[in-house]
Amino acid sequence: MARSPLMAEQRRIPLLITRYGLAITSVALAFVTVFVLQCFRVRDPFALVFLSALAVSVWYGGSGPGILAFLLSVLGLSLFLHSPRGWLRVDFYDVPTYCIFALLGFLIHRFSQSRRRVEHLLQESRNHLESEVIERTSELRRRDLHLTEAQCISHTGSWAWNESTGRGFWTPGLFRILGIAPGTVRPSPSAYMAHVYPDDQAGFESARVEALRNRSGLDHQHRVVQPDGSIRHVRVWGRPFPADGEDLEFIGTVMDVTEQVEDHAVLQRHLKTIEDLLEEKKILQEQLRRENISLHELTRALQGEIAAIQKTRFEKIVGSSPAIHRTLVRVNQVAPTDSTVLITGETGTGKELIAQAIHDNSSRAKKPFISVNCAALPSSLIAAELFGYEKGAFTGADRQRLGRFELADNGTIFLDEIGELPLETQASLLRVLEEHTVERLGGTKPIPVDVRVIAATNRDLQAAMRISEFRQDLFYRLNVFPIDVPPLRERREDIPELVSHFISLYASKHGKTIRNIESRGIDLLRSYDWPGNIRELKNVVETSVIVSSGEVLAIDEELLFGGGLGEDAPIGSLEKEMANHERVLIERALEKTQGRVYGQAGAAAILHVPPTTLSAKIKALKIDTTKFKSR
C-alpha cells in the first residue's frame, strides 16, 4: 500500500532542516578543529579537515548542503591560509590545495548522488513489495473467509496430516462438525478418533491404516459424538498428497451427512409402509373381487326387480338407458309430492307421458288428469278455456262453462307448450298458482281449486324472459322441480326396444304379422339423429309396417334421409346450408376413394359413418358416385 503524500511532505521538512544543519555543523566542527591545529602550529591538515566536513555534508546532506559546506570551507581555508597580500588572496602555493579540495568535493558529490539514487530505488522496491504483501495477504484472508463460509453452507470441513512430521491442519468447518471451538485441540488423527462413535472406531481406524499402507484413497462413513452428546453422521474422503522427500502427507475433507442419513431412513420407512399398503391392497382387491362377484349377481337381480317395478309403475314409458333412467328417478322423487313440475325437452320426446307418469304415481292418481295444449288454443279463447266463463260473459256465452282448472280439481292439470301463453294469460295463471283460486270470465266470485300443475315446453324460457316474452315471476313459480327429458339421439340404446314396441302396436292395428326387423334397418335407425325424436320414430315404424309385405320389417332409407334436404329447402335456410356442407364433405371423400363407399379404404371409413348411412345420404343428396371412379 503506497504512503500518503501528506505524510511524506510532513516528514520532508524536518529532514531538509536536518540536512542543512548537518552541513553547517560539519563545517563549524572543521573550523574549530583547524583553529585548534593552528594554535598548535600545524598547517598542512587544514584542507584535509575541511574536506572531511565537506564529505560528511555531501554524504548525509546532499547537493544543497554540500554546496553550502563547500563555500563555507573555502571561506574557512581563506581565513587560515591567508596570503600576506591580504584577505581573500590566494598564493601560488595554495592553488593546488584548492584544486584538490574542489575535485575531491565533486567526486564525493557524484558518489553521494549515486548512493541516494540507489537508496531511492531500494525504498521504492520496498514500498512496492510491502504493498504486494498487504494485497496478497488481504486476498488470502478473503479467500479463506469464502472457503470457511462455503464449508459452513455445505456442512464440510478440510484436514491435512503429515505422518512423518506429525503436523496437521483442520479448517474451522471440521471443528464445527466436531462441535468444538477452533484452536482448542491440536489437529491429529488421535484427536479426531477421540470424537468417533465407539462402535465405529475400529472400522475407521482399519480404513485409515489401509489407506496409509497402500498409499490409496480413503472413503469411510461413520458417526461422531459432539461434546453435548449429540451424534452426527459424517463421511470422510482423503488421498495421498506429494510431499518433500519420503514424507507421506494426506489431505481430505469431512462432510456432515446427517440430514441425508435421516432422510434415507424416513424414505425406507415410507417404502416399508408402501409395501405394507400394497400387500394390504392385494388382499383387499382379492376380497373386493370376491365381493364384486356376489354384488354383480345381486345387481343383476335388483336390476330385474327394478325393471319389473319400472314396467309396472311406468308401463307407458319404454326404455332402459341411463338417460331415461335418470329421468324416471326424478319422476319417482317428485311424484308423491304436490310440487309444481316444469318438464323441458325437444319436441316429440314424450313430455306428456312423463307428466302422466307423475300423476299416476301420486296420491291424485284416481283423480282427473287434464291435459291442455296451450299452443293449440287461440289466444282470444285460452283464458276462457283455462278458467271457464259465466253465462253472458261474452257474445255466444249462452251458458255457464267450467274451466280446465275446475275440471282438474283435486287432480292434475298438464299445461303443454306453456311458453306459448299470451302475457295477459300468464298473469292470470300466476294468480291461480299463488292464491289457488280461479275466477271465471264474467264472474265476480273467486272459486278455490286444489290442482297440481305440471307444465312443459320445448322453448328456452330463459331466452324468452330476456326478450320479455315470458314472465320471470311465473317461470320461478313453475320451475320448482325441473325435469329434462333426453332426446332420442342421447338414448340410442333404447331404439331397438322402442321399435319392437311400435311394431307390436301398429302390426296389430293394421292387421300385419311382423316377427323381426332387418339388422340393416336397426343400423339405419341407430345412425339417424332423429330431430323429431320418438314421435318421428313412431311415424317411421308405422309407415314401414304399412308398406311391409312380409314378416321381416324393412326400413326404407327415403323415410330417414329423403326428407327434402338440399334443393327443396328455401334459400338461406339452415337445412339447405347443412345439406350443402354434407355434399361437400361426401364429394371430397368420394374423390379420395375414387367413388368407393364400403371397405376400410372407402369413403365411409374416412367420414367415420356406417356405409349404409353414407349410401342413404348419397342417394338423398343425389350424388353420382360414377363420376369419381375415372379420376
DSSP string covering 26-95: HHHHHHHHHHHHHHTT--TTHHHHHHHHHHHHHHHH-HHHHHHHHHHHHHHHHHHT-BTTBTT---GGGH
Portion of the chain with pLDDT greater than 90, in percent? 16
DSSP output for 554-592: ---HHHHH-SS-STTSPTT-HHHHHHHHHHHHHHHHHHH
What does pTM read for this prediction? 0.46
Enumerate the H helices of 347-471 as residue ranges: 351-360, 382-387, 404-407, 423-435, 461-466
Long-range contacts of 476-481 (CB under 8 A, 24+ apart): 477/340, 477/430, 477/433, 477/434, 478/340, 478/342, 478/418, 478/433, 478/453, 479/342, 480/339, 480/340, 480/341, 480/342, 481/330, 481/334, 481/337, 481/339, 481/340, 481/341, 481/342
Q: What is the pLDDT of residues 476-485, one digit of tens each?
A: 999 999 999 9
pLDDT at 564 over 60: no
Q: Cα separation of 320 and 96, whole Å?
A: 150
Which DSSP helix (H) or strand (E) runs through 256? strand 249-256
> 404-443, pLDDT tens digit by residue?
999 999 999 999 999 889 988 899 899 999 999 998 888 8
The DSSP bridge partners found for residue 413 are 370, 453
- Grid look-up 471440521 returns 174
What's the confidence (pLDDT) of residue 568? 43
Least confidently predicted of 35-49, 142-156, 447-461? 35-49
Whether 464 contacts 315, CB under 8 Å: no
pLDDT score for 415: 94
Residue 92: pLDDT over 80: no
Q: Quickly state the pLDDT bin for 566 (edges 50, 70, 90).
A: very low
d(CA 542, CA 522): 15
Summarize pLDDT for 520-560 with one digit per residue, the tens: 888 888 888 888 899 889 888 888 888 887 888 888 777 77
Strands 249-256 and 231-241: antiparallel
Judged against a pLDDT cut of 80, whether residue 384 lies above it is answered with yes
Which of 10-19, 179-188, 362-371, 591-600 is modeled with the greatest confidence? 362-371
Q: Which of 38-52, 141-155, 564-578 is the least confident region?
A: 564-578
**pLDDT higher at 207 or 87:** 207
Using pLDDT thresholds of 50, 70 and 90, give the confidence band for residue 94.
low
pLDDT band at 1 (very low <50, low <70, confident <90, very high): very low
Q: What is the reported pLDDT for 223?
A: 92
Is residue 313 very low, low, confident or very high in pLDDT (cuts 50, 70, 90)?
A: low
Mean pLDDT, range 177-197, rounded to an integer? 87
Whether 212 shows a pLDDT value over 50: the answer reads: yes
Given this model, what pLDDT does residue 312 score? Answer: 54
Query: Using an 8 Å Cβ cutoff, are 583 and 562 in contact?
Result: no
Q: What is the pLDDT of residue 567?
A: 42
Least confident interval from 89-93, 212-216, 462-466, 549-553: 89-93
d(CA 401, CA 438): 13
Q: Average pLDDT, stretch 483-510?
A: 89
Q: Which of 161-165, 263-267, 566-570 has the lowest mean pLDDT?
A: 566-570
Which pLDDT belongs to residue 565? 42
In this predicted structure, the answer to whether residue 627 has a pLDDT above a threshold of 50 is yes
Q: What mean pLDDT do residues 43-60 have?
A: 66
Sole residue written with cell 361437400: 584
